[in-house]
Each structure stands twice: as structure tokens, then as C-alpha cells.
Amino acid sequence: MTRFAFTVEFDGRPFMGWQRQSHGPSVQQAIEDAIHAMTGEQVAVHAAGRTDAGVHGLAMRAHADVAKTITPFRLMEGINALMRPHPVAILACEVVPNDWHARFACLGRSYVYRIVNRRAPLTVERGLAWQVAQPLDADAMQAAAQLLVGLHDFTTFRSAHCQSASPVKTLDRLHVERDGERVAIHASARSFLHHQVRSMVGCLALVGLGRWSADDLRAALDAKDRAALGLNAPPDGLYFVAAHYPGREDRRP
């Protein structure tokens, strides 16, 4: 039995999320089905993190154990060929030690949330970014974002369906930057609560629109109450961009 590690890119729009589910297609199922078609083996693909319906991945890290004797290149090529027409691609494949685990060996995860700040409708990026028509003050968003960095109880920014044992998390980075009509929000932490990034982005957008102040954001955090959340951003603009491991990082910009 050989353990293979994958770097996976996917468009989340057709999927119910990463994890295999009974009520719709998932990225995990697409990869597992491709491996089964190629090897005849029923395998479980484990990922560095989970994503919601409509959320995208640029460099998700995952692994699977395969009994068939095969090179990483042939396995990658075979999976990619058999996964069509699903918008999922294996970007890299390598053999890793049998005790390496995509989730449990991961030291941190990074996401980027993409906003297109313009009045004209989205065309080629529809479903791939959040369009906000009214002007956003990215500087105000960046200043307010620093209130969320560090160790906090993020109950306000946590989905009611979150399965995490504790709402207390350490947010290592939350950075807002503008490039023309595009606003990108970068978030990094060891782990995140369900909907945490989307909820933080939604509230920062309220700050950028002038509907909330930084004090309002702090009050929402301090409330430790989901009812205090101002806005949960849609999944369209959220991308998993990096998984961090001892001695290496899998990242795409």
C-alpha cells in the first residue's frame, strides 16, 4: 500500500463542498470515483480542510492509499483523465510516508476572498467572485480587520452547524488589499470555524460600505452571539489557497 499526496484545484460551483455527501456531488467523491475507475480500489481521500458548497480550491492538499503499483505521474494523469468533465484537477502527486496525513499533519490553512467592486455585472467571473456594486473603503476594512487578529472567541462568526469543539481560535492574519476594482481579503490560521471566513468578510464589507464602524465590528466579536453577525458573505469569492506543513507549503496565489 502506497500513500500518495495530491495538490488539488477545483471550481466549487457544481459541488456541495469538498466532503462526500448523500444529497449531492462533492470534490472528494469525484476524486475517489476516478481512482476507483483507474485501479478498481475503493479508497478514501482525506483533505487538509473542508469547503462549503460553491467554495473553490487553488491548492487543496489531500492524500489516499493505493495498493496498485503505479508511479505518481501515471496516477495523476489517470485521475485527471477520468475526472472529466468535473472541474477538478490534480496539480501535483507524490509518494509520502504512510504516517503522513493531509489533515492532521497540517500546521495551518490560508484562504483568500475575492470581491469585485464595480456596478457593471460580472460575466466571466460570475460565481467566482462576490460583486459589491457600492464603493468599498478598503483602508477602513484593513484597519478594522486587525481587531479580529489573534486569539478570540469567534462564536459570532461561527455557523450554527459548526462541529468544532470550541469557538476559540487564533487568527494569524487578516489582510485587506485593493487593486483597482478588486478587493482581496487574505486569512490564515491553524484552523477555522465553519463559515468563519465568510462571516468575517461579510462584516468587513459592512465596514467598507460605511454601514458599520470598527467599533461595531468589535461589538459583534465581543457579543459572542451569532445573532450579532451583520452579514455572511456568499461562497462565490472564497478560495482555499494554501496548506502549511513542517518544512513546506503548498500554495497558489
Whether residues 59 and 82 fall in one domain? yes
Whether residues 165 and 242 fall in one domain? yes
Whether residues 29 and 145 fall in one domain? no
> Worst-scoring range by mean pLDDT, 14-18, 20-24, 76-80, 231-235?
20-24
Whether residues 134 and 162 fall in one domain? yes
> Quick check: 240 pLDDT over 90?
yes
Q: How many domains does the chain have?
A: 2
Is 11 an annotated catalytic residue? no
Question: Is residue 203 situated within a structural domain?
Answer: yes
Question: Is residue 252 situated within a structural domain?
Answer: no
Tell me the residue range of the domain where 53 lies. 2-96
Among residues 96, 116, 147, the one where a domain terminates is 96
- Containing 169, the helix (H) or strand (E) segment is strand 168-179
Whether residues 121 and 232 fall in one domain? yes
Whether residues 149 and 189 fall in one domain? yes
Distance of CA 124 to the CA centre of its chain: 21
Question: Would you tell me how many other CB atoms lie within 10 Å of the CB of residue 180?
Answer: 8
Whether residues 236 and 112 fall in one domain? yes
Radius of gyration of the chain (CA): 19
| Per-residue model confidence (pLDDT) at position 165 | 83
What is the spatial distance between Cα 66 and Cα 34, in angstroms, rounded to a whole number? 12
pLDDT in tens, 86-140: 999 999 999 999 999 999 999 999 999 999 999 999 999 999 999 999 999 999 9
Which cell numbers hold the place of 123?
Answer: 460575466
Contact between 250 and 61 (Cβ < 8 Å):
yes
Among residues 76, 96, 116, the one where a domain terminates is 96
pTM: 0.93
> 52, 99, 137, 222: which is the annotated catalytic residue?
52
Question: Is residue 29 situated within a structural domain?
Answer: yes
Among residues 35, 65, 96, the one where a domain terminates is 96
Q: Say which CATH number the domain at 225 has.
A: 3.30.70.660
Whether residues 152 and 179 fall in one domain? yes
